[in-house]
Structure 1
C-alpha cells in the first residue's frame, strides 16, 4: 500500500511529461507561424497604403474582440476541454491565412480584408490565451511552474526570432503568397500536435456545471479576494496604455518612415526582440527567483528607461540592441507574474483568473493603439511619443517600488524536481 502511494506521488520531470512536451511542440510551430503571418501583414498594409492610421487600426481591430471575449474565453477554458480549444484556435488561424492566400493569388486583397482578418485573429487569441495558461498548471506541479512557464515562453520566443527572419526572407524571395503559405503550414502542424495531448478527466476539469453567468460572477468574486491579482492588474492597466501602442506601431513606422528601411530591416528588429526574449526565458528556466516581485519591479524600471532611449535610436542596429534588452526585461516581468497568479489560484478558477487578468490589465491597449495612430496622423513624431511613454513607464515602476508591498513580499513555492 505504501509502495503504491509513493508511486502515485512521484513527480514526473518536465521533459518526461508527454503532454507537456506535446504542448511545447505545438507552441514551437504556433507562435512562429503567427509571427510569420504578422510580419507579412504589417508589411503588406504598409505597402498597400501610405496612411499610417490604417496601420494602427490593424492592431486596434485585433485588440477589441480580444479584450471583449477574453472573459468568455476564460469561462470556456474552465468548462470545456482546453486541448480542444487550443486545436480550434490554431486550426481556425490556418484557415484564415488560407483565405488570405487566395485573395493574394487573385490580386483582390484590400485594406478591409486585412482589418477583418486581424479582428478574427483577435477572437482566436481571446480563447487560446486562457486555455494555454490554465492548461500548464494541470500538467505540472507547483514548484515546476516557473521552469515550465519559462520553457513555454522560450518556445514562444523562438517566434520573434524565426518568424520575422523567415517572413522577411520569404517576402523578398517569394512575395506575400510565399510568406503566408509557410504561416499556414506551421499553424496547421501546431493544431495537429495538440490533438495528441491526453488528459485524465479528473485533472482536466471539475465536475461542476453551473450556469455560465454564475461562473462569471464567481470568477469576479474570487478575483476581488485575491490581493495579488488586484495589485498586478492595477499596475498593468496603466502600463499597457503607455507601452503597447507605441512599441507595436512605433517599430514598423520608424523602420519605414525614419530609417527608410525595408522588410528585412523590420525583420532584424523583430528578430532581436525574439533573441532577447529567448535569453530571458532561458535565464528564468535555470534561475528560480526567491523574490520575484522585486525582480518584476526593478525590471520595469529598466524597461521604462530602455524604452525612452529607443525613441532616440539613430539606426536599425541601435534600435535592435535596445529592443533585445527590453525583451529580456519583459520576460523577467511576465514569467514571474504568470507563475505567481498560477500558484495563488485554485485549479478550477485558472481559466477565469487568467482571462480576467488579461482583460483588465490590457483594457487600455486598444485605446493606446488609437491614440498612438491618431498622434502619428497628426504629425507628432513617433520618436517623441516613445520617449515620453518610456518616462511614464519608469515613473509607474518607481511608484510600485515604493508602494506595492504585496508584490514585493511575494515568494514562490520552492521545491526540487527529480530527474
Structure 2
C-alpha cells in the first residue's frame, strides 16, 4: 500500500502545487490522447482493409472482453502493488504493441485479425491501468479537493478526444497509417516516463497481507454494504448496453457510409466529443454541485434525448454538434458519481471498489458490441439502432427519479451525506 510522500501539512498544498498530482496530470495528458491517436488509426484502418462491418464491431468487442474479465484482478493488484509501476507498465506495453503494428504495416502484411488481437491486448492493458489511475488520485489529494482534482483529471484526459482525433485524422491524411501510429507510440512513451517522476512510498505494515481471494471477498462484501453505489452500478449496467455499442460502432460507420466522408470527417466528430467533455469538466472544476444526485438524473435524461436526435441526423457537422452536447452532459453524470464513490470508500479499498464499479457497470458492454454488430450485419441501419437506444435510455433515466438515495446524496468535506 502506498501513501504520497508528504507530511501532515499536505492539506495546505493547493492542487496545482502538488508535485505528484501534476506529474499524474502530465502523464494523462499524453497517455489518453496517444491512445486516441492509435484508436482513430485502428478504426480507419479496419474500415479501409475490410468492407465487412461485422469485423469493425468486433474491434470494440475484442477490447471489451479482456477489459471486463480482468478489471477485478486489476483492482486487486492496484491495492497490493505500486500503482506507479502499474501505470508505467501499461503505457510502455502499449508502445511495444504499436511498434509491432508498425512492423506489420511496413511489411504490408496487416490483416483484420491482427487488429482484433491488438485490440484485445490493449483491453488487457486497460484493465490494469484504470483501477490504478482512479485509485491514485485520492491518495494524492485531500477529500475536499477531490471534485476539483477529478475535474482537472477529466479535463486532461478529455483533451484526448480533441487532440487525439485531430492529430490522428490529420496524420492519416498527410503521412498515412505509419505516421499516425508513430505519433501514438511517441505520446505513450512520454506518458510512461512522466509516471516515473511520481513519488510514492509503501506504508510499513507488519500484518501479513491476506490472500488475493480474501481481498476479493472483502471487496465484494464492502461494495454490497454501500446501497448508493449498488443502485448506481445497476443503473449503469443497463444504460451502458444501449449506449456503448451503438455509439462507438455507429459514429465511424455513419461518417464513412452515410455522410460519405473520410478520416478527417471522423476526426471532426470525435474531436467534438472531446470539446464537449472538456467544457463540462471545466464547468465542474469551477462550481460545487448542491444536489449532485438531481444533476446526475437530469443529465441522463438530457443525454438520452440528444442521443435519440443524433440517430436522426444526416449531416456531419450537425452530428458533431450533437455529440459535443452529449459528452458535455456526460461529465455532469460521471464526475459526481466518481467523486461520491471515492469519498465514501476507504483508501485501502479504492482499487477494488473502482474495479468493481467498472466491471459491473460495464458488464453488458461486450454484449452491446456483439448485438449492434449482428443487427448491422442482418441489415438494420445504425441510425435506427441509435434512435431506439436513445429512447430506452431516456425512459430508464426518468425512472431513476424513484431512487431517493441518489436524489439525496451530497458531497462534503467530511465525506458523503445521504
Please say whether Structure 1 and Structure 2 have the same fold, judged by a TM-score greater than 0.5.
Answer: yes
1:8 Cα deviation from its structure 2 partner:
3.1
Contact 2:67 / 2:127 at 8 angstroms: preserved in 1?
yes
* Cα shift readout 1:216-267 (whole Å, capped 9, x = no counterpart): 0000100110111101100000000000000000000001111111000000
Cα distance in 1, alignment partners of residues 118 and 288 from structure 2: 40
Query: What SS is found at the alignment partner of 1:412?
Result: strand
Partner SS, residue 191 of structure 1: helix
Q: CA deviation at 1:12?
A: 1.0
Deviation per CA, 1:14-45, whole angstroms, max 9, x where unpaired? Answer: 01100000000000000000000000000000
Shift of 1:360: 0.4
Q: 1:7 to 1:119 in 2, by over 3 A?
A: closer
The answer as to 2:184 corresponding to 1:176 is no
Task: Tell me the residue number matched to 1:17.
Answer: 18
**2:278 corresponding residue in structure 1:** 278
1:404 maps to 2:399: no
**Counterpart residue number, 1:366:** 366
CA–CA separation in structure 2 for the residues paired with 1:337 and 1:19: 24
Query: 2:62: which partner in 1?
Result: 61
**Which residue does 1:103 correspond to in 2?**
104
Q: Deviations over 1:246-304 (max 9, x none)?
A: 00000000011111110000000000000000000101110111211110110000000
Q: Counterparts of 1:347 and 1:249 in 2: how far apart (Å)?
A: 36
Aligned pairs for 1:150-299 (under 5 A) are 150-202=151-203, 209-299=209-299
Q: What is the CA deviation profile of residues 35-92 of structure 1, one whole-angstrom value per residue up to 9, with x for unaligned ones?
A: 0000000000000000000000000010000000000000000000000000000000
Task: Answer whether contact 2:258 2:314 (CA < 8 A) is retained.
Answer: no
TM-score (norm 2): 0.96
Range that drifts further, 184-193 or 286-295: 286-295
Cα 1:312–1:133 shift into 2, 3 Å: same
- Kindly tell me: are residues 97 and 110 of structure 1, through their superposed partners in 2, closer, same or farther at Cα, counting changes over 3 Å? same
Alpha carbon RMSD of aligned pairs, Å?
1.4
The CA distance in 2 between the partners of 1:74 and 1:9, in whole Å, is: 26
The answer on whether the counterparts of 2:11 and 2:142 sit within 8 Å (CA) in structure 1 is no
1:2-151 → structure 2 map (5 Å cutoff): 8=9, 10-151=11-152
Matching residue of 2:4:
none
Say if 1:24 and 1:371 are closer, same or farther in 2 by CA, change over 3 A. same
Judge conservation of contact 2:307–2:386 (CA < 8 Å) in 1: yes
The answer to whether residue 306 in structure 2 is matched with residue 306 in structure 1 is yes
Segments of 4+ in structure 1 off by > 4 A?
Answer: 205-208
Unaligned runs of 5+ in 1: 1-5
**Which secondary structure state, in structure 1, belongs to the residue aligned with residue 412 of structure 2?**
coil
For the Cα contact (< 8 Å) 2:23–2:197, is it kept in 1?
Answer: yes
Tell me the distance in 1 between the aligned counterparts of 2:288 and 2:90.
32
CA 1:38–1:220: 2 relative to 1, 3 Å: same
Scaled by the length of structure 1, the TM-score of the pair is: 0.96
Shift in Å, 1:173: 0.5
Distance change in 2, residues 1:184/1:269 (3 Å): same
Query: What is residue 3 of structure 2 aligned with on the other side?
Result: none
Partner of 1:3 in structure 2? none
Change (3 A) 1:207 1:305: farther
Query: How far apart in 2 are the matches of 1:8 and 1:266?
Result: 48
Partner of 1:388: 388
Residue deviations 1:95-116 (CA, integer Å, cap 9, x gap): 1001001111111111111000
Q: Distance in 1 between matches of 2:8 and 2:188?
A: 38
Describe how 1:333-352 pairs up with structure 2 within 5 A.
333-352=333-352
